[in-house]
Structure 1
Amino acid sequence: MGTDEQSQSAAPRGDARTGDDVQSVVDTLADRLGRSVAVDDPLIHLIAASRHFGDEDDMRVRSVIDRQISPELQRWVLAKGIADWTEPGRVTGEPDFELAPRLCFPVRCNGMLLGFLWLIESGAAIDDEAHRAVAEAADTIGLILYRRMVLDERRRSRVESSLRMLLSPEADDRHRAIGEIQEEGLLAHSSHLVVLVVEADGEATGDTALALESAAERMERRLPRGSVLTLVRGRRAVVVVGGPRPLSDQALRDLAERLRHDFGRTAGHGRTCAIGLSATVHGLDTVGDAYRQAGTAVRAATLLPVFGGVASWSSLGPFALLLRIDFDQLTQDLPFPGVGDLLGNPEHDILVQSAEEFLDRAGDSSSTAQAMHVHRTTLYHRLKRVESITGLSLDDGMDRLTLHLALKLARINTSHRSSS
């Protein structure tokens, strides 16, 4: 298709993973044929694309502008069975997607599918000589991608082994991991580090791990080479991002949101993931601390909708402590006198909401009434009922703290039970 993250003319950064070699083959073939050429990976993610020769369709133009194709189009194309093709074939056009017919050449090496080479059909047919040139280019690209895959697998194995040891509770393991990472140059910079913990919803399957790996790899492509270490275990991924300067909070959140988006597109079926972000730490010996911070943050992102699926350690506030409670030991009978009566009756839900909003706003009755869309007299009446039911006084600082903690613990506990 020739769509996704990269521009139509060149792969970014000159990175061996994204392919100056593949790009060179694509550009040479395009100039020889006088028509645009694109190469995608097996999931229809762009690897390289040539310049256009006036043969582009609306979908190609839009995909270059948007830098992606829709999940619906991705599924439609793959449903054609092209992943099983061993010979070139034709993918018919589809007006609903503004997609012109395309010639698809499977890119394989050693029998393994590594991608697809695409030509948009134009008025000029491809003669036998041009067909041989495309087939030779596809074979050359297949060999390049196969070699790259082998090198990537070797590096991934070293990264996973080193990162697993870096997160070990054993000091000797951590010391050995730091030595390996530094000696093999697995991370270019370690002066400013952030850990992301990603947790997928649903069951831990092979498809889940593949979607996590794919999303992390695509995030890695957006950053300077040598900036990322990734370890995927079941439905959890640990990603360490390092650089010579700290990333801003907004830049980190943008990375996390894009990773969530990429995971959802690859996993499909409405799957999603939550992400926890650590604070910025300094030096590989502090990654364990950052991992614990991100682990707590991902619990917040998973359990509490207010965080919108992405939570940073710095934004947790009291949840940084509350989320470390062992939920198996936390029963519905919270250890606060009288609060159980308030929380145990569904008819009191509006009272609970009003009290939590009031306490979240530091006792500002005016802004609380506005947020609840009620008159202040109504709010005062609700708060008096809360005091009557719980036996606590909202004029007393300790009672306020007691009620506030109880409400937050109850919210976490409810979310935990519904997700179990």
Structure 2
Amino acid sequence: MQAWLDALAAAIERSVSVDDLDGRLIAYSSRHADADPVRVAAILSRQVAPEIRRWQDRHGIATAAGPVRVPANEALGMGARVCVPIRDSGLRDAGLRDAGLRDSGRTLGYLWLLDPGQTLDDRALALAEETAREIAAAWHEDPDAMVRRLLTTGEGWNRTAPRLIQVCVVLPGSGRPERNAIGGFVTDSHAAYLLRQPADGMPEEEGVTRGYSDTMGPESAPEAYRQALTAAYLAAADPALPRHVSWAGLGPYRMLLGVADDPLAALDGEQAHTLETYLDLGGNAQRTASALHLHRTSLYYRLGRIADALGADLDDGMTRLRLHMALKKRRLDAGFPE
């Protein structure tokens, strides 16, 4: 819908928007140079004010089959505009539409074109009617079905989608849905939600596990779904992981899953040697200080610098395991002598 509205706005050089029958603002074009106070208020509140709706209704938009010109109302801060009803038409055949036949199907919503100078011509109105028909044809597609298709096949996204998305998987599927979900679907084992912005955390629920993907572009939605699903199932299987875990927070499992990142990148050679010795000796500070010929105070200072550099808690068992595995992988990657 956003793509259609932006294309229409560019073609007719007017701001356009779509409301539902309850006055909720569903979408609006990015063009807004001609916005009047009523449009600005609707964008900010996502709702058309009752007094505006009453003025619009007085001009017969609820029963109209074609474009309706709604005059300006200075007292309401409202410029003139054109309403194109979005109707549920049974006339899917292009030949019937081209013949000028109109259907008496129910109204689904309203496409609005700002027209302060009342200069929109027949060509512009015809383009608006075509856009309204496209919106009506897609109106009934279940958002959850669209999300399922996007997450499982990667189809259905376009460049007007959010720049970044995140996926959340909930186990079991009966857990509360995410507050900021665009849509989602439920399987026999889990629920998956496409989030319109990165999650800021959900309160813990008894017996419910959540896995979150990295944020990424919508073209990578299937990969985000795989990440969230993996994170959720690992969190459910391993009590050492938190009940709400992100793909980035899977610790040693990232290496087991073949994720190509290096948690040791911030360390220099001496720090890496100190950390490896400490972990090889089971985190025993006295034995580590002796092996490195350090006073214990100096060892603690080094470990503190290492923890700061990594942004990690060296007292956490899963963190230690991941770092220890990474240190041994470095040795493995160095290869064997000929």
Flag whether TM exceeds 0.5 (same fold): no
Smaller-chain TM-score bracket? 0.3 to 0.5
Normalised to the residue count of structure 1, the TM-score between the two structures is: 0.34
